[in-house]
Amino acid sequence: MSPYIKLYNILIPKDHELRLILELTGSESVYEELKDNLLFSRWSEWKTIDPIRMFKFLLLNILLKI
């Protein structure tokens, strides 16, 4: 769990779309879907950015037009 979850719960309203995104992109379900993918299974060996984090970043970038 993130060390910022308490701050997240304070700042993000209960009905905000970011909460829905967090639920839909829960890392356990995404990791489970991708575990058999060769490239995904080796990302930690390559010391790259976590694919889930990258996905969330790109999604927020699109939604918030950052």
Domain residue extents for the chain: 5-64
| Rounded Cα distance, 45 and 3, in Å | 25
| Rounded Cα distance, 61 and 55, in Å | 10
Q: Say yes or no to pLDDT of 3 above 60.
A: yes
Q: Which range, 9-13, 24-28, 33-37, 55-59, is most confident?
A: 9-13
- Compute the mean pLDDT over every residue in the chain, rounded to the nearest whole number: 75
Band the pLDDT of 43: cuts 50, 70, 90: low
| pLDDT value at residue 27 | 62
Long-range contacts formed by 45-54: CB under 8 A, 24+ apart: 52/25, 52/27
Percent of the chain with pLDDT over 70: 61
With contact defined as beta carbons under 8 Å apart, do 41 and 35 qualify? yes
